[in-house]
Chains A and B, each alone.
Chain A
Amino acid sequence: MAEKPIEPIHQFRITDYFDIGNFGGDGTPGSGIHLAFTNSALFMILTVGLVLAFLVLGSNRRAIVPGRLQLMTEMTYEFVANMVRNTAGHDGMKFLPLVGSLFMFVLIANLFGMFPYFFTVTSHLIVTVMMALIVFLTVVIYGFYKNGPRFLKLFVPSGIPWYIIWLVVPIEILSFLSRPVSHSLRLWGNVLAGHIVLKVFGGMVVALLGAGAWGLVAVLPFGMAVAMTGLEVLVAALQAFVFAVLTCVYLHDAMHPGH
């Protein structure tokens, strides 16, 4: 097989910046918990820092006539608040901090990933699975806390004839349990696939430029890479929105389990 000049998944490699130490384990490599400050941690901190700076700087003046930054902050807040109000209902507004944090974190992390040489936090399954599990556990715990055993009505759609219920209930349970899987895989898959496609087109440009007169053709994949970058910025914002909307839909189920 021909050697690969550009490895498209190299961009997702996690590198240690400095080690904190190895805890537990019996000394063999791979055992115990290896703590280190990685590029993933750095970009998570940068993401949270940017979100914090945006929201705090935008809202601390509280002018009657808002400036540009305050206007952007207020529009962002209104956007998230409207989304929660429309999808989760008025009593879902108590989850606005959760949904807003998830939305802002995913949005800024995705957009950070669009800069060349920047690490994309959401391109790692562990990050998206953790966020999806937070949502899933919130739904389960709050659903049982609010509705008690009536939460199980979620699995029994109303208006179903009794003779088909034994078929519907397992399907509903399975679909409920697969929610965190699809919730996390969707964000991860979109980000990962987009970045790999960008890298593949970039690799084509490099390969064609090194091929003598064929270098002129390199304009085609280059233009494609530019167009895909535009599409990826759209996908980055859209997936953050989708993640937040699905969170709202699941929370709505937790509050109103009857179909």
Chain B
Amino acid sequence: MDPEAAKLMGKLIGAGIACIGMGGAGVGVGVIFGNYLSGALRNPAAAASQFSNLIFGFAVTEAMGIFSLVIAFLLLYAV
């Protein structure tokens, strides 16, 4: 295999592996929204006051998925 093709293959495989990390972020976001929903159904009166906490937790968790996405983009377009 010539070096250029090997490099391209490594880039594409690496980008694919980097995307596995998004699964963890997906689980985390699911946990946050699921727990918010179950809490909101138990005590609907308190749900609205926790909305910004929900968004904050969502944003912090989602950042991890974005990091792995950034690695994938770097491998695809910048390496």
Interface residue ranges, A against B (CB under 8 Å): 1, 9, 83, 86-87, 182, 185-186, 189-190, 192-193, 238, 241-242, 245-246, 249
Chain A: which residue is nearest B72 at the CB level?
Answer: A193
Q: Which 9 A-B pairs have the closest CB atoms?
A: A189-B66, A242-B59, A182-B63, A186-B63, A189-B69, A186-B66, A189-B70, A185-B66, A193-B69
A192 touches B73 (CB 8 A): yes
B55 touches A1 (CB 8 A): no
Chain B interface size, under 10 / 10 to 19 / 20 to 34 / 35 or more: 10 to 19
How many A-B residue pairs lie within 8 Å, measured between CB atoms?
Answer: 38
> CB-CB < 8 A to A242: which residues of B?
55-56, 58-59
B52 touches A245 (CB 8 A): yes
Nearest-Cβ distance from residue A22 to partner chain B, whole angstroms: 25
Known: A242-B59, A245-B52. A185 touches B70 (CB 8 A): yes
Nearest-Cβ distance from residue A86 to partner chain B, whole angstroms: 6
Nearest-Cβ distance from residue A12 to partner chain B, whole angstroms: 10
A9 touches B67 (CB 8 A): no
Chain B: which residue is nearest A249 at the CB level?
Answer: B56
> CB-CB < 8 A to A190: which residues of B?
62, 66
> CB-CB < 8 A to B59: which residues of A?
186, 242, 245-246
Counting chain A CB atoms within 10 Å of each CB, which of B60, B66, B67, B73 scores highest?
Answer: B66
Bound complex: CA of A246 vs CA of B49, how far in Å? Answer: 17
Looking at the complex, which one of A182, A185, A245 makes contact with B56 (CB distance below 8 Å)? A245
B62 touches A246 (CB 8 A): no
Counting chain A CB atoms within 10 Å of each CB, which of B52, B59, B62, B70 scores highest?
Answer: B59
